[in-house]
Structure 1
Amino acid sequence: MNAQQTKKLQIRKNSWRNHKFMILEFLIAVFFIAVVWLLFIANPAQKRQTKIGASYMTMNNSFYPVLNEQVANYVNDHHGRLYNRDPALIVSKQVKEIDTFIAQGANAIILNPVDGNSSQIEHALHRAKNKGIKIIIVDSQMKSTRYVDCTILSDNYRAGQLCAKHLLKTKRHAKILLLEHYSAFSANNRIQGFTDTIKRAPNAKNYRFVAKINTYGQSEITLPLVEQALTHGQKFDTIMALNDQAAVGALAAIDETKIKRPIAVYGVDGSENMKKLLGVNPNAIATAAQSPVKMGRIAAQTAYQLLADKKVPKKIILPVYLLTNKNINQYNVLGWQ
């Protein structure tokens, strides 16, 4: 082999060696790109995190912590972030919470309005809507649904109906005290369902509404007000409470004043406290049960469906059923359903 041939062979070897190095460098680059893609793109935790704000009229009612727990579980399972706030029944505080959610870049807001009639809350929801935030209302309603994507609530009107039908079936006449929460649509619907059913009864004249009290659905507010009604107000033998918290407060007031005559107390919720009193306290008659567990799960699912641009119903109504002092043994009294 002459010198020229040797030189050509060496050039070929060097060329092949350089080619191999280029292939190796390309494979290494592809490998690192794949690693980066797996770590920062394919990994859900590294995607743009979904942020959800949740504000309920008060956390001083076990219904809302249970509802919120279901929301939190769902958001965590989807690697999102939940901001939870408690306005403690103060409209201005809830408005600030909504504005905070907007500033934090929330993608959706789950709201139980302090006052469904509030123009302040409606304006806050308008600000949120202008930022593209999805709005889900739970356990109550806004008077205007202009800025609301979905409202999820129990069949509150039927809850009142169930209590009224039980009263009509078990008592031939009654003097009724109503415990209300004037600014909550859910409470108003329950009381409306109750009063409408009584008024439509063939023997409606035997049932008289003697008074009503705004209790805000809170036991500690209800107790002294019902005590006062028992000692200084008109006599009554039946109480229809907007929720179990008010019903429990009324039952405590009856015990405190040591009233001997029977007073039938009805509530709405199916809370653990009320369920434990059914069949034990002779004045605890019934409660129309709803499920914060189911409501919270559906609220979270709906939020994510909206964020995925999927169609959802404008309103979702969840069923209720009656728990009484006669059938309570058929149900679990521990916790919520």
Structure 2
Amino acid sequence: MKKKHYTLNKYLFIELLATIALIVLTLFFYFFHIGHRTPIKIGATYMTMNNEFYPILNEQIANKINNKNDLLLSRDPALNQRKQIEEIHSFIQKGVKAIIINPVNGKSSQLNKALKEAKEAGIKIIVVDSPIKNSKYIDCTIESDNYHAGQLDAKYLLSQRKHGKILLLEHKSAISGVERIKGFTDTIHKSKYAKNFKIVKRLNTYGQSETSLPLVTKTIKEGTSFNIIMSLNDRAAIGALAALDSTKYPHRVFVYSVDGSENMKKMFSINPNIKATVAQSPLKMGKVTTKVVYRLIENKKVPKKIIIPVDLINQKNLTQHNISGWQ
């Protein structure tokens, strides 16, 4: 009887050891596989990080990519087209699976040549915020409704004024900026008050406050008179506001812009010159971009173009928006 009981315990013990060994081996292979998964490399290059829109956009993308244990290589060409092209070549050499690009110059043939090389290397290409004129090598373009942003500013202007002298703050190599200004001017020209408005000057500010400040200051000192400013973005608008203050410009100026940045929203309460900014959302753009990137890497279909809606912010509806950050 004792021998039979001993034999039974022996088999139970062996079965228990086998079960434990199986569990240990399963866990070992699981964690070995997870720990040794080769991260997917994704490249991102923005025209400049000297604009809070792009760091916020990049942060959204980076968070989601990092959560998947993959690697985002972020680059800042600082508005230098040659440097951005070098960054693309570097991405190709590093073996990225996708490139997210916000082009310094959306009309550049040299940039298209670099993107062609990336495409031929099997890399997916996603354009964000500002489109590229030749979309032949682009898998998806994700942008705000830039033309409509300009329209919204113009319509709001027309609801307030029926005449005026307009100073335009542009970024001629950024198609997004060109579309915003065109949406604005087209709407003015098509209105019944078109003859009452005059564009007195166009300044190529590159969307930077440190560029718009001296250019607007020079324009004022040269004697150019204006009472309306339409800016392609908030950074250039803020530089213009600083120029108005520093020169003690004697006339009331209505300022319209695009972005809905935290700085601009906070300035509504302290600067009566600010009339409107059209809000775009780097938070939403980041989420959409990441989703598109992985669908493309998995060889799934995505739309050729994705347009993210915009809305106008003014003094009346300011409290409906997040004043302490981006939307």
User: Could you tell me how far 1:27 is from its partner in structure 2?
Assistant: 8.8
Could you tell me how far 1:36 is from its partner in structure 2?
4.6
The letter for the 2-side match of 1:268 is V
Find the aligned partners of 1:179 and 1:325 in 2 and give their Cα distance: 22
Quick one: distance in 2 between partners of 1:72 and 1:333?
Answer: 24
Q: Secondary structure at the match of 1:135?
A: strand
Select 1:228's aligned residue among 201, 209, 218. 218
Return the alpha-carbon distance in structure 2 between the equivalents of residues 198 and 333 of structure 1.
29
Partner residue in 1 for 2:133? 143
In the alignment, structure 1 residue 258 sits paired with structure 2 residue 244: no
User: SS state of the match for residue 293, structure 1?
Assistant: helix
Counterpart Cα distance in 1 of 2:260 and 2:158: 21
- Which one of 227, 238, 244 corresponds to residue 237 of structure 1? 227
User: Within 5 A, what are the aligned runs for 1:61-72?
Assistant: 61-72=51-62
Q: Which residue does 2:9 correspond to in 1?
A: none
Counterparts of 1:36-75 in structure 2, within 5 Å, are 36-41=28-33, 43=34, 45-75=35-65
Change (3 A) 1:31 1:325: closer
2:198 pairs, out of 187, 208, 223, with 208
How far is the alpha carbon of 1:25 from its aligned partner? 12
Distance 1:248 1:200 in 2: 28
Q: Which residue number corresponds to residue 130 of structure 1?
A: 120
| Residue correspondence of structure 1 range 183-222 to structure 2 within 5 A | 183-222=173-212
Partner of 1:287: 277
Give, in whole Å, the separation in 2 of the partners of 1:28 and 1:128. 50
Distance in 2 separating the partners of 1:79 and 1:307: 15
What does residue 14 of structure 1 align with? none
Provide the aligned length of Structure 1 versus Structure 2: 313
Shift of 1:46: 2.6
1:332 aligns with 2:322: yes
TM-score by structure 1 length? 0.89
Taking the aligned partners of 1:24 and 1:240, their CA distance within structure 2 comes to: 77
**1:91 and 2:115 equivalent?**
no
Question: 1:121-158: CA deviations, max 9, x gaps?
Answer: 11111111111111000001111111110000000000
CA contact (8 A) 1:71 1:299 kept: yes
Aligned residue in 2 for 1:16: none
Once superposed, which parts of structure 1, at least 4 consecutive aligned residues long, lie more than 6 Å away? 23-32
- Report matched runs for 1:6-25 at 5 Å: none
- Per-residue CA shift, 1:153-188, capped at 9, x if unaligned? 000000000000011110110100110000000000
Correspondence for 1:6: none
Tell me the equivalent position of 2:4: none
The amino acid that maps onto 1:253 is A
- If you compute each CA radius of gyration, which structure gives the higher value, 1 or 2? 1
The range that moved more, 54-63 or 203-212, is 203-212
CA distance in 1, matches of 2:22, 2:301: 40
Residue 122 of structure 2 aligns to which amino acid in structure 1?
G
> Any idea what the Cα deviations from partners look like across 1:87-125, whole Å, max 9, x if unmatched?
000000001111111111111111000000111111111
* Distance change >3 Å, CA 184–CA 24, structure 1 → 2: same
1:285-332 per-position Cα deviation (integer Å, ceiling 9, x unaligned): 110000001101111111011111111100000000001123213322
Q: Distance in 1 between matches of 2:90 and 2:16?
A: 52
Identity of aligned residues (%): 55
Amino acid in structure 1 at the alignment position of 2:37: K
Given that 1:114 and 1:183 are in contact with CA atoms closer than 8 Å, whether structure 2 keeps it comes out as: yes
Give, as a single letter, the amino acid of the residue that structure 1 aligns with 2:93: A
Find the residue that maps to 1:84 and give its secondary structure: strand
129, 135, 152: which is aligned to 2:142? Answer: 152
Q: Which residue of 2 aligns with 1:18?
A: none
Note the aligned Cα RMSD (angstroms).
Answer: 1.9
Gaps of 5+ in 2: 1-14
Question: Which deviates more, 184-193 or 118-127?
Answer: 118-127
Relative distance call for 1:34 and 1:269 in structure 2 (3 A) is same
After TM superposition, list the pairs within 5 Å mapping 1:307-322 onto structure 2. Answer: 307-322=297-312
Q: Return the offset for 1:277.
A: 1.1
Structure-2 separation of matches of 1:35 and 1:272: 48
Aligned letter for 1:261? H
SS at the partner of 2:51?
coil
Other structure's SS at 1:145 match: coil
Show the counterpart of 1:167. 157
Contact 1:279 1:328 in 2 (8 A): no
Task: List alignment gaps of at least 5 residues for structure 1.
Answer: 1-22
Q: Deviations over 1:7-51 (max 9, x none)?
A: xxxxxxxxxxxxxxxx9999999777645531233x2x4323111
CA contact (8 A) 1:64 1:292 kept: yes
